[in-house]
Amino acid sequence: MKIKAVVFDAYGTLFDVYSIQVLADSLYPGQGADIAVKWRDKQIEYTRLITQSDPHNAAGSQYFRPFWELTQLSLTYTLDRLHLSHQEGQVEQLMDQYAKLKAFPENLAVLEKIKEQGLTTAILSNGSMDMLTSAVKSAGMKNVLDHVISVDPIRLFKTSPESYGLVQKTLPVNKDEVLFVSSNAWDALGATWFGFQTHWVNRQGLPFEALTPQPTFTGSDLNSVLVSLDHFKYQKN
């Protein structure tokens, strides 16, 4: 089996969504961690609600809203749920920081090593293209990512099969020639169901979903992806 492309989820995998809690705690002392967790949970909940409510529309869900908009709506909900004020500038500061989320420290070096192996690298994300472009640029990853793929054109979020199908619409690869990498267990499971080889980056030491199948590989950070690639015979594109 040959792996031709390594495709990464963005938020939670390459970019640390919980790093936002540092700024959140400075704006709302003692609430930063709670804001970060509830914000992320609501963001994902909204993507699922939209896609599940209209999954078979050929034009994409009629309820679709770009991920950037859902991110802001999720923040507004989170602040309301925690009975926190929306003082002038606070929401704007948090959203600006979300556009430039901190990358995990090992990521750039790992991406460089994958590129050295002659493999294609890509992001497949629920994120809007503008926010992905901003995050990639801020993290200095522009030169180590060949493609950045957003679900925006199909108006359906992961884990819809159509979202994973965007990889093959962009790259000349078969499903089993893709190693899909995500730190979100639900995303790794969806990609496995779709037919990709998968690698779950389990940064928090959590059990995998009770649903099967298990991902092809697991590891505690992105360095483990390099170990997984050693299990495959790959070819240059």
From the list 9, 16, 152, 187, the catalytic residue is: 9
Q: Quick one: which H or E segment has residue 33?
A: helix 32-53
- Whether residue 25 lies in the annotated active site: no
3-class DSSP assignment, residue 115? helix
Cβ neighbourhood burial of 220 (10 Å; 0-12, 13-18, 19+): exposed
> Whole-angstrom Cα distance, residue 105 to residue 89?
29
Phi-psi region of 18 (alpha: psi -120 to 50; beta: other; left: phi over 0): alpha
Angstrom CA distances, 162 to 48, 50, 119, stand at: 14, 14, 24
Catalytic sites, residue numbers = 9
